[in-house]
Structure 1
């Protein structure tokens, strides 16, 4: 089986099956299919391949299965022969051969053999999940500093790490803010998918020296009993699948940083709201009920009502960009001074709509959510603090919902 990269000139394949009369054949089975290959030996193979092509010969690179070693070296040969950036050459090889499982360790060795830079100096900040609520606001607020990568048609995080690395390299990414998550993220199936997406992205980022910012949330503390603001150093204590997924993502990132040297941090957000957002859903449901003259029902748990820390999306995205570009701590919190019960939120909405509030309360079993994030370290480190008061943010959100109110000037 021969897989052509440049038809008639450059191909790869499994050693026992790929034979082509008259071609220069370089057998790479003596290399290890992992880290540890001598860069000078790999560099010689690349140079031999380029020399054969420049003599007008057909070049066939082979290894055991024609997947990793042969295609990694082929990318190096293609880059040198045609004067391409290495990451662009990798993308060409993957597209031509269909072999996506090229090992990053092998690509890293070829990259070093070519003298290509691993560490990304400067570069763009890429945002995964750019079609989501926070991602959209990031791209709109900072078009000159961030580039959004939307759905799987743009960057499939369930694809092989080599594909993701090639995409990051072509985009000249220096940092990635990771917001992408499974479409349905509150069931058990989402857990495995979220971790797979993140692991693929982390492997690609580590290979290129790209900084990774993992966006987490206050839900990782929802199972605890702390009444005061929770510091970044506190251990996660999640409740519910969504919080468990985020806690596991944070743990996986920590393990990867320790094992690979990946440059990364976690940013935990308070409950984020604002125009175009669906959460917390009580804002929209309360507003629609009040506008229609219907009663609003809030919940009283066994220990009282919930208290929500609400962070406007504009403050959240500003903090994310500042942390991505200048943060050095392993964990950051982005929170707010605005702490309100659902009944208080309903009252603020009724005032903005100039409507009477008919409030009812429903007893619910269990403990209420009252997590507050201590974001003082973020303020001290980067000078960040929230700027948008809850009253103004709610008014802006109501306008976006097509209800009376007023936007911020």
Structure 2
């Protein structure tokens, strides 16, 4: 099989600590800036629309539109990522996000723009966000030794969950300002820092596009590889439904906290930070769990436990109860998500990593827009707690399907 790309690794001892590897540090710092910015604008955009409209439908529509790029474009982006230099691709995508954020900011402070403008802006931001995320998977694969992948992914998740603790709380402070739109300007500045940091990534990636193959043949090769990895294929099918229930819950939490529990912006930020605290602990538990259990078993068990957290949300009647439910939700979802990411990297050939990430990324989000739109209408017409109850039942059904499938194995030949 012809390789489409190759990377010359930096001549460093493979046993060197990952924190001494220059490429890891660049990816870590730039990823931290971009992740921090994402946390702010992902929370700010729905709240800005809620401030203008007081409508859960407007909020859920924004959330649904933000997931459309993953559904519609992810697999095509994956093919393109395998054809280009991932560093340059990422730099252009981040720069485009900076431009969009500043445009939305200046338009919104001059007047109250049409919601359509924000919907388009959210779509473009998430398209670029996925383009950067897909390329990051490839950059990690190409610029770090294979034995560092698990540690690198755990570290990336550590900073993501750490920002999960700090980000919403700081966003709560930002949202207390007279203009919520200032959060968009702050995000643009963070993305600029991430852009500058990424310039220092040392990558000698050589791209040799296979001219004898067309776009669709390359995409088909990714599909063939995914279907041949039986465990990854089963996990992908499972995640389609898990992300649907998770998307319903994530969309409803903000409306539930604001409309039912009557939390102020700062209180909302602190409550949401509980999910980050749980994720932080989950990242510490990840390595020992991966040594003891296979990826399929971890996904199966965490599906059940996440379902229990949805039950806690259904019964939540105070900010403390909501924070406790989000803490355990963040813990179990982190363990599941990072296990899936790492398994996908470990079992995918270098030259197909972009396509596999794109195809699985598209499939992962297949049901999310529809589930999110449904959650918005359920919250509007009934009670937000009903959404949590539906998500809990959904996860219990998914768990039973996983428990009696090929995912529940002690060892797997695909590892």
Q: Which has the higher strand share?
A: 1
| TM-score, length basis structure 1 | 0.25
With CA pairs under 8 Å and 6+ residues apart, which has the higher RCO, 1 or 2? 2
